[in-house]
Structures are given as structure tokens and as C-alpha cells.
């Protein structure tokens, strides 16, 4: 491969890694602390903050408009929106933009308020997405969530219709542990702690700045997706009563005060859609049959894809043989009737049954986040026993900022010591190794950010170990170069021989280390897994920088800078004959002729 293509590959790799690393850099070193605190709140809290702050800003803007003052600097975006409104209405824009002129562009107060709130909402959710793409810190560095879940064994006993044996209790809790492990693993978190506590409790620790709202959806979601046939006549009767008695239809728990409003085999449920913050927003009521047509226990697999025409997200899942027969019978008996999709007692969507359906089912009416969560819950199946949150708290880092500071000092100290040694012992070649080491660390952190791995103290230990291991390849190559120089070879020949003869020695040692790291990452858990992942990443990046990057630097010096010597040791130098091969050959020929 030519030097030009090798340089292009390196530049592309650096650029791609920078794109992956950028969210981490911005989140930890650029974004303001107060903004990050808001972004880590729940969606409900973000909604309250955005609406409250927008209302306060609008009051300030209205006061500026009354005084005919300029547009406040922090609300310059309203000037752009007002300009768009004037342009759409084909009206002449003001020569001077004042707060009064801007406010006059909006049809009413609510329109201006909506623009301000949208600005806050967009910026906060952009920051929230950036945090998801940044490197996450583990419990030992940043704290996280601590949750104790209580298994409702009484409800399980009632469901089974018999007293529970100790084997029943153990089996229910242990299977709940397996489901939670599977859910949290697919949720994308690394190094969670999930263990049984006592006879009927489960203890969960989730590291990092995780969103409590989403985690509760994953942990507590029962996967209780159910299909119910809609009763249009009962819905019409219900609304006739509800419109006449809106304040006395439901009690505080949402139950009908007068159940006789609808038939005995019918229940009334709320229909919900997602608002701009991703929160459930009530739309209306709908009457559905009490009998569950199909529940989530019959689902074999579930994925998220998009509708062919609209491109909206949908959940597609496949039923087992028993579920397929049940669903086929249900849809066959209710063709041309509407069927409601109910998730945790909330009607999320409904559609008219066009034809009988047996195995493959597609659900729509969700945004992408909710579709992913629903598919995840369905893939991991329903919990064998209902779980309730006994306690939930945010726990602080056990070592916190001190641990991060000490870990960074260890990394920088180890890297600095290795650099000093390499430069002192191998002279100019040592600088090449130093550059490769810096690039190696850059690549390692970029991979962490790209795959959203969690950084813990064991992970830092893996990085520090990699620093020491990464120079092994350079040491093997440089020592081979010195041997070639002692044989009187030129710079180019010594470099070629150094890399060619050291290649398999380097690959053998790194492949065996990588295999060990892979086994540790698959068989280990918690700190062991974090250490293994960082070690595996370090092995791959160090091989790339040692064999690919440093070789290009040496070749650049030889072919572009036309360097004749090879500074790789204090004692071994390129032979004079190697520096001037033609002159040396002529001298030997002339001497022989005499």
C-alpha cells in the first residue's frame, strides 16, 4: 500500500474518532454544569422547567415591548421567527427591530410563548441526547441509581390459586432476576449490579447519570401488552353520560362511580398519545371488552422497523403457535371491528381488523423511543412476579472526583514515564513511539465514546496496563532495527527488516492477549468485564499505531525528507557504507584494482 493511501486511512480514522469523541468532549468540558443538571432531569421536570422559564421570559419581553426597547440579547431568536412570519405574510419588515416590532409579528401571546418554550425544549433535549452519546462513568466514579424491588408473592399466590412453596418463591424471584438482567443488558447499560436480597427483594444498582424515568419503564414494565375488542356502542353510551356528568363520572383512582353506565363485560380506559416532551398525553376515553384477546406472554420475538409508506416507527412481533391460534380466532371473529392495543392499562393505539391474523403482528402509533421500549419489554417477556419499588435513591460516587483525578494522574504519569524512557533510550525513534502512544490513547477513548461504554476504575486500570504493553511492539521493532544496523544495512533496509521480522512476534503476543480479554469480557461481570473491555480496545489500537502509523512516519522520513541516518540508539548508527552505498562501492573497486 502506498504512503498516500496509508496517510489517507490514518487521517480518516482520526476524523471519525473525533466525531465519536466530540459528544464526550462537549459534555464533560464545554457544557455548563447547570444546563447538564437540567438535561438529566425526567421529562416531566423538563416540561415544567421549559414552560415555567418560557413564561418568565415572555413577561420580560412584553415589558421591553411596552417600553419600546431593543430585543433582549438572550431572545434574539424571536427576531428571526418574526422575520419568517413577516416574509410568509408578504409584509414589509420593520427597518429597526425592537421588542415591540417583534411581538407585533405574532398572532397572539400563546404563539410567542410556544416559540420560546420550543427553543428551551429543543436545546435541553439536544443536550440530553449528547449525554447519551458520551462516555458514561461507573458507580465508583459518578454514582448512579440504587433501587430495591419488592416481589409481590401474595399476588402470585392468588394468581396460582394455591399456597406457595419455598421452591415456588425461589423460582419466581430467580426468574425475575434473569428477566431484569436481560432487560438492563439490552437497555445498553454496562456493569449493573443486580442481586437477590433476602427472600423476596431484588437489589439493583445502575451506574452513571441514567434517566430514572426510562429505567423505571424498563425495570417495572410488565410487558403487559394486551389486545381488546373495542365496543363502539358502549363508547357512545359512555360519552352521553360523561358529557352530562363530567365531574361525577370517575373517582380519584379513575374508576367509574356508576359501573352500570356500560355493560358488565366492558371497561373504560383512557387513550393516550405522546406530547412534544415524549410524555403520555390524555386524548379521550374508549370502551373496550374486559376479556383479554391476547397478552404478551405468547410473543416470541419483537423488533422495531418502519412503515412502508409513512416511514413511522412500528413494532413487529411474532407469536408462538398457541398465541397464533388464539389471535387468529380473535381476529377471525371480529373482522371489520376495531381492536385496541393496551399497554399497562392505557390504550396506545387502535385499528380496524381487516382480515384474520395468525402469527406476525405489527403495531403502530408510537414514537421511536416508546417503540424501542415496547419491543424491549416484549422480547424479555413478562415478569413471573409483579415487582414494586420498595426504595429508590441516587447514590454518590464512592471515590468520585478524587478517583477520576487520581486515575487521570496515573494514566498521564504512566504515559509520561514511558515517553521519557523511549525518547532517552531510542532517541529520535523514541519520538515516533511517543506520537504512536498519544494517538493510541486518543483512539481508545474514541472507541469508548462510540460504543457508550462505562468508564470505571478497573477500566482505567486496563488503560494503564495498555500503556505499558503498547510500547512492547515498538521495543521489538526498534531492537530488530538495531540488529540490522549492526549488519551494516541502510536506513530503508533496517526499517523494512525491523517491521517485517517483528510482525509475527507482535501479532502472536497481542492475539493471545486479545483472546484472553475476550474470554474475560464474556465470562466475567462487573469490574472484571470493564477491565477486559478496555484491555481489548487497547490491544487493537496499539497494534494499529505501532505497525501502521509509526511505519508511515519512518517511511515519510526516508522518502520525503530524504533522511539517511536512523537514530534508534546511542551506540548503533547507520554504517558509512550504508549512507553512501555508491561511493563506498566505487572506493572498494578502486582499492581492489590497485
Greatest CA span in the chain, whole angstroms? 127
Most confident of 70-74, 194-198, 250-254, 367-371: 70-74
Most confident of 186-190, 214-218, 477-481, 486-490: 477-481
Give every CB contact of residue 513 below 8 A, 6+ residues apart in sequence.
469, 535, 539
Q: What angle do CA 272, 278, 279 make, to 5 degrees?
A: 50
141-165 pLDDT, tens per residue?
777 777 888 888 888 788 777 888 8
466, burial (CB in 10 Å: exposed 0-12, middle 13-18, buried 19+): buried
Question: Taking residues 44-71, what's their average pLDDT?
Answer: 89
- For residues 206 and 144, the answer to whether their CB atoms sit within 8 Å is yes
Domains and CATH numbers, the chain: 31-132 (no CATH), 136-221 (3.30.70.3400), 225-364 (3.30.1360), 400-582 (1.20.1640.10)
Question: Taking residues 275-279, what's their average pLDDT?
Answer: 79
pLDDT of residue 585: 44
Question: Taking residues 8-29, what's their average pLDDT?
Answer: 91
189-243 pLDDT, tens per residue?
445 677 888 888 888 877 665 556 666 666 665 546 678 899 989 999 999 999 8
Question: Taking residues 458-481, what's their average pLDDT?
Answer: 82
pLDDT of residue 383: 64
Most confident of 121-125, 172-176, 503-507: 121-125
pLDDT of residue 55: 92
The x, y and z cell numbers of residue 39, run together, are: 438535561
535-569 pLDDT, tens per residue?
888 888 988 988 888 888 888 888 888 877 777 87
If pLDDT is split at 50, 70 and 90, which confidence band does 378 have? Answer: low
pLDDT over 80 at 431, yes or no: yes
pLDDT of residue 255: 82
- For residues 444 and 390, the answer to whether their CB atoms sit within 8 Å is no
| Pairwise CA distance, residues 495 & 481, whole Å | 6
Q: Write the DSSP assignment of 542-561 as a string of letters.
A: HHHIIIIIHHHHHHHHHHTS
Question: Taking residues 27-42, what's their average pLDDT?
Answer: 86
pLDDT of residue 189: 44
216 vs 443 pLDDT, higher one: 443
pLDDT of residue 123: 93
The x, y and z cell numbers of residue 159, run together, are: 394468581
403-413 pLDDT, tens per residue?
667 777 877 88
If pLDDT is split at 50, 70 and 90, which confidence band does 582 have? Answer: very low
Q: Write the DSSP assignment of 274-342 as a string of letters.
A: E-TTS-EEEEEEEEEESS-SEEGGGEEEEEEEE-TTT--EEEEEEE-HHHHHHHHHHHHHTTTSEEEEE
Give every CB contact of residue 294 below 8 A, 6+ residues apart in sequence.
226, 227, 319, 323, 326, 327, 330
- Taking alpha carbons only, the member of 275, 274, 271 closest to residue 239 is 271
pLDDT of residue 593: 47
459 vs 359 pLDDT, higher one: 459
pLDDT of residue 400: 58
Question: Taking residues 461-472, what's their average pLDDT?
Answer: 80
pLDDT over 90 at 447, yes or no: no
pLDDT of residue 211: 59
180 vs 18 pLDDT, higher one: 18
439 vs 275 pLDDT, higher one: 439
Question: What whole-number percentage of the chain has pLDDT above 70?
Answer: 84
If pLDDT is split at 50, 70 and 90, which confidence band does 16 have? Answer: very high
The x, y and z cell numbers of residue 40, run together, are: 438529566
355 vs 573 pLDDT, higher one: 355
Q: What angle do CA 21, 25, 30 make, to 5 degrees?
A: 155
pLDDT of residue 14: 92
pLDDT of residue 397: 58
- For residues 173 and 415, the answer to whether their CB atoms sit within 8 Å is no
Q: Which position has the grid cell 373496550?
A: 288
Most confident of 280-289, 317-326, 374-383, 386-395: 280-289
97-143 pLDDT, tens per residue?
888 888 888 888 889 999 999 999 999 999 988 887 888 777 677 77
pLDDT over 70 at 573, yes or no: no
Work out the mean pLDDT of the chain and round it to a whole number: 80
pLDDT of residue 95: 83
Question: Taking residues 434-447, what's their average pLDDT?
Answer: 89
Amino acid at each position: 500500500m502506498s504512503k498516500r493511501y496509508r496517510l489517507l486511512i490514518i487521517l480518516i480514522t482520526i476524523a471519525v474518532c473525533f466525531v465519536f469523541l466530540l459528544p464526550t468532549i462537549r459534555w464533560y468540558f464545554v457544557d455548563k454544569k447547570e444546563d447538564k443538571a437540567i438535561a438529566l432531569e425526567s421529562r416531566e421536570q423538563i416540561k415544567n422547567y421549559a414552560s415555567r422559564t418560557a413564561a418568565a421570559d415572555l413577561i420580560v419581553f412584553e415589558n421591553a415591548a411596552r417600553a419600546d426597547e431593543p430585543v433582549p440579547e438572550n431572545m434574539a431568536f424571536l427576531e428571526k421567527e418574526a422575520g419568517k412570519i413577516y416574509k410568509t405574510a408578504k409584509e414589509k419588515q420593520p427597518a429597526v427591530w425592537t421588542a415591540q416590532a417583534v411581538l407585533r409579528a405574532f398572532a397572539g401571546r400563546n404563539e410567542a410563548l410556544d416559540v420560546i418554550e420550543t427553543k428551551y425544549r429543543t436545546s435541553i433535549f439536544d443536550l440530553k441526547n449528547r449525554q447519551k452519546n458520551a462516555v458514561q462513568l461507573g458507580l465508583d466514579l459518578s454514582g448512579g441509581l440504587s433501587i430495591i424491588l419488592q416481589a409481590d408473592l401474595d399476588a402470585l399466590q392468588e394468581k396460582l390459586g394455591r399456597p406457595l412453596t419455598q421452591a415456588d418463591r425461589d423460582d419466581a424471584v430467580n426468574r425475575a432476576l434473569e428477566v431484569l438482567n436481560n432487560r438492563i443488558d439490552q437497555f445498553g447499560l454496562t456493569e449493573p449490579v443486580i442481586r437477590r436480597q433476602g427472600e423476596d427483594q431484588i437489589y439493583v444498582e445502575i451506574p452513571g447519570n441514567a434517566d430514572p424515568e426510562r429505567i423505571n419503564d424498563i425495570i417495572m414494565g410488565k410487558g403487559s401488552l394486551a389486545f381488546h375488542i373495542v365496543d363502539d356502542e358502549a363508547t357512545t353510551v359512555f360519552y352521553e353520560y360523561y358529557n352530562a356528568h363530567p365531574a361525577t363520572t370517575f373517582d380519584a383512582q379513575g374508576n367509574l362511580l356508576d359501573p352500570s353506565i356500560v355493560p358488565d363485560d366492558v371497561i373504560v380506559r383512557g387513550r393516550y398519545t405522546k406530547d412534544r416532551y415524549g410524555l403520555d398525553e390524555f386524548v379521550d376515553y374508549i370502551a373496550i371488552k374486559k376479556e383479554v384477546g391476547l397478552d404478551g406472554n405468547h410473543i416470541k420475538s419483537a423488533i422495531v422497523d418502519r412503515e412502508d409508506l409513512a416511514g413511522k416507527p412500528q413494532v413487529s412481533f411474532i407469536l408462538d403457535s398457541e398465541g397464533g391460534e388464539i389471535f387468529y380466532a380473535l381476529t377471525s371473529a371480529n373482522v371489520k371491528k376495531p381492536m385496541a392495543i393496551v399497554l399497562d392499562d392505557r390504550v396506545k393505539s387502535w385499528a380496524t381488523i381487516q382480515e384474520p391474523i395468525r402469527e406476525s403482528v405489527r403495531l403502530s402509533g408510537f414514537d421511536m423511543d416508546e417503540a424501542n421500549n415496547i419491543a424491549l419489554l416484549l422480547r424479555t417477556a413478562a415478569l413471573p412476579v409483579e415487582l414494586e419499588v420498595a426504595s429508590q435513591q441516587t447514590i454518590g460516587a464512592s471515590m468520585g472526583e478524587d478517583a477520576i483525578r487520581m486515575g487521570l494522574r496515573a494514566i498521564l504519569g504512566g504515559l509520561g514515564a514511558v515517553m521519557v524512557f523511549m525518547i532517552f533510550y531510542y532517541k529520535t525513534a523514541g519520538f515516533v513511539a511517543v506520537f504512536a502512544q498519544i494517538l493510541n490513547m486518543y483512539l481508545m477513548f474514541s472507541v469508548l465514546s462510540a460504543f457508550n461504554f462505562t468508564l470505571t476504575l478497573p477500566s482505567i486500570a486496563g488503560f494503564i496496563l495498555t500503556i505499558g504493553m503498547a510500547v512492547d511492539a515498538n521495543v521489538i521493532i526498534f531492537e530488530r532495527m538495531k540488529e540490522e544496523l549492526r549488519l551494516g544495512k541502510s536506513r530503508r533496509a533496517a526499517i523494512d527488516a525491523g517491521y517485517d521480522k517483528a510482525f509475527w512476534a507482535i501479532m502472536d503476543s497481542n492475539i493471545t492477549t486479545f483472546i484472553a480479554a475476550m474470554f474475560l469480557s464474556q465470562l466475567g461481570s462487573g469490574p472484571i468485564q470493564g477491565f477486559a473491555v478496555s484491555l481489548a480496545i487497547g490491544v487493537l489500537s496499539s497494534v494499529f499505531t505501532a505497525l501502521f502509523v509509526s511505519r508511515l512516519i519512518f517511511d515519510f522520513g526516508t522518502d520525503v525528507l530524504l533522511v539517511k541516518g536512523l537514530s534508534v540508539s546511542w551506540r548503533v548508527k547507520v554504517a558509512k557504507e550504508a549512507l553512501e552505498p555508491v561511493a563506498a562501492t566505487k572506493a572498494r573497486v578502486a582499492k581492489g584494482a590497485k
